[in-house]
Amino acid sequence: MGDNGDFKLTKTQMIALATCQRELAAAREQLKIVQEEIGLDLNKNYAINPDGFVHMIKAKPKVETAKKRG
């Protein structure tokens, strides 16, 4: 690995990475289609419980950092 964080992939790794990227893009597209079909708000995050129920994932409240004492 170089000083700037670059690294070299083997040809097999590049093929595997490209395949994963294509599969991920296809899965995202399929998810978008399913969300539209069942009427989910595409701007919100959802999770599916093991029992099949879908619920919205609420954003976690931001934790304020302690102010510096001076």
pLDDT digits (tens, 9 = 90+) for 7-25: 899 999 999 999 999 999 9
Give domain status of residue 33, yes or no. yes
Residue 62 belongs to a domain: no
Looking at the domain assignment, is residue 17 inside a domain?
A: yes
Does residue 20 form part of some domain?
yes
State the burial class of residue 7 (Cβ atoms within 10 Å of its Cβ: 0-12, 13-18, 19+).
exposed
Residue 21 within any structural domain of the chain: yes
Q: pLDDT tens-digit profile of 30-54?
A: 988 888 888 877 677 777 777 877 7
Q: Which of 31, 52, 53 is nearest to 42 (CA)?
A: 31
Whether residue 26 is contained in a domain is answered as yes
Domain count, the chain: 1
> What is the rounded CA–CA span in Å between residue 52 and residue 30?
18
Residue 28 structural domain: 11-56
